[in-house]
Structure 1
Amino acid sequence: MNTVSSFNPTTLPVNDNVNPYAFSVDLNGQWFTQKGKMIAYYGQIKFEALSAGFLDQLVATSFHSPLYAHDWVVAQGQGKLLLADRGFDVNSYDLDDGNLTVRAGNLLAFEPGLELKQSIIPGFLTLIGTGRFVAASNGPVHFVEPPIRVDPQALLGWADCPSPCHHYDHSYMRGALGMARHVFNIGGSSGEEHQFDFTGQGTVLMQSSEHVANEDTLLRDLEGQVNVLGVNGLQRLHSTIGQRLQAEKQQ
């Protein structure tokens, strides 16, 4: 007969994994947590929106991504905080005076000792400083060194090395077929035709799947960039979206 482990505040791990899919934060102060990633907690813990006035100093010091501010809260108090993300693998990572960029939808929580900024790559956030953060991945994470080209959907993040460049194979770009693919996004998700190209010194983090955990974060970036477009740009974007929707209906 199989036995089932039962946890309580004294037996839960301290800042470690409960299992591959859940992480236990030993909270004694404050952590930034993404909404919807807390599955349970023990103790006296409150969750405050970043707009709460008494958090102004903390937010001014540690959170510099207004585009994602609505997605985050501050967990404060004392107790055990359990984090998970829809059955994805969950792991913690320690930064020591470093910087790491991670897919925004995969970042679950981080200590206020780290400073969060918005990456120039849409859909990614950058953590700078010293401290711990928790992130989810669709399958185990692999750490590889540049130079390397990575499928965009398999890319989880990167540390130290410069931001990647887009790489499109010649067959993707060639002639009218390439233009049609660009407009209708036919084959656009294939890692064989489009990759992120990394060079320089650092580490690239890849998940073991081409399934992106949450595409809402990419939409948030795109919506944030719409504000800088003029009338001509908005009309062109409207036309491209209409063509893309029409192509989807025909599939």
Structure 2
Amino acid sequence: MMNRYSIDEFVKKTQQEDKGEGMFELETPRLLEVNLDGKVWAKAGSMISYRGQIKFEREGVFEHGLGRMMKKVFSGEGASLMKAEGDGKLYLADQGKKISILNLDNDAIFVNGNDLLAFEPAIKWDIKLMKKISGMLAGGLFNVKLEGTGMAAITSHYEPLTLLVSPESPVYTDPNATIAWSGGLQPEFVTDVSFKTFIGRGSGESIQMKFAGNGFVVVQPFEEVYYTES
């Protein structure tokens, strides 16, 4: 593939293009355009460019109540959000990860705190800590529950894969590769001592997430290490 262009050719090939798809548009597979006319929540530090009159503000400590603030303290910086407000075009990205736009229609979905890029303000959200594993994983593991109607953007390393879950066929995943799952599922954590012995002590793959019931789970072909095993 040719990667050598004149200046005019390069500008034409890479310039911003309005697609008329709504508030969230994929400008490229790894760059989200937000057509802002009001407010949007986005991952702190994800802004790469904007035009227009947009004001950025870190999420206030008490903006969503003391309970959620306390959970943020224990969940670390991965769930830190910023509020962008105004009128213009906002461009978001996260370490070159692939972006998927979800249209929630009175739905609920859990997203790994590291993989949530942005969502519309009409969507209700809350941080969920997985306390059952606090003694197993240093730093714990947390996710964000999104619920309602509106658009949300999630990220993944490379192409995501969605696996359907049924009562007859539970799904097991590596926590480091798990991006999201449907709102009706409550994962539990299981350990496989024989598997741990086989692959060597200290590997995260000895701890697995088990999904049982009716729904789906989204994984990525990449192990994003955000915890260490104690």
Task: Name the TM-score, length of structure 1 as normaliser.
Answer: 0.70
Determine the structure 2 residue equivalent to 1:7.
15
Displacement of 1:35 after TM fit? Answer: 1.1
Gaps of 5+ in 1: 220-240, 245-251
Which amino acid counterpart does residue 151 of structure 1 have in structure 2? Answer: D
Alpha-carbon distance in 1 for matches of 2:61, 2:163: 40
For 1:132, the equivalent position in structure 2 comes to 151
| Structure (1/2) with the larger helix percentage | 1
Report if aligned partners of 2:145, 2:183 keep a CA contact under 8 Å in 1: no
Based on CA coordinates, which of the two structures has the bigger radius of gyration? 1
The correspondence for 1:153, drawn from 155, 171, 176, is 176
Sequence identity, in percent? 27
Structure 2: gaps (5+ residues): 131-140
8 Å CA contact 2:128–2:144 kept in 1: the answer is yes
Return the alpha-carbon distance in structure 2 between the equivalents of residues 150 and 52 of structure 1: 34
Question: Which of these residues, 15, 20, 28, is aligned with residue 19 of structure 1?
Answer: 28
Cα 1:27–1:202 shift into 2, 3 Å:
same
Shift of 1:73: 1.7
Q: Which residue of 2 aligns with 1:100?
A: 109
Match 1:123 to one of 138, 142, 146: 142
Contact 2:103–2:149 (8 Å) recurs in 1? yes
Q: Aligned equivalents of 2:99 and 2:181: distance in 1?
A: 17
> What residue in structure 2 maps to residue 68 of structure 1?
72
Question: Given residue 211 of structure 2, which amino acid in structure 1 is its aligned partner?
Answer: F
The counterpart of 1:45, out of the listed 54, 62, 76, is 54
Distance between the aligned counterparts of 2:194 and 2:88, measured in 1? 55
Distance 1:135 1:111, change over 3 A: same
Structure 1 counterpart of 2:122, from 107, 113, 118: 113
Structure 1: distance between partners of 2:220 and 2:67: 26
Which structure is higher in strand share? 2
- Residues 154-179 of structure 1: per-residue CA shift (max 9 Å, x gap): 10010133211112224158xxx79x
Q: Distance in 1 between matches of 2:28 and 2:67?
A: 32
- Residue 108 of structure 1, CA deviation: 1.2
TM-aligned CA deviation for residue 52 of structure 1: 8.8
In the alignment, residue 210 of structure 1 is paired with which amino acid? E
The 2-side partners of 1:137 and 1:199 are apart by: 23
Q: Distance in 1 between matches of 2:30 and 2:48?
A: 11
2:32·2:91 contact (CA, 8 Å) conserved in 1? yes
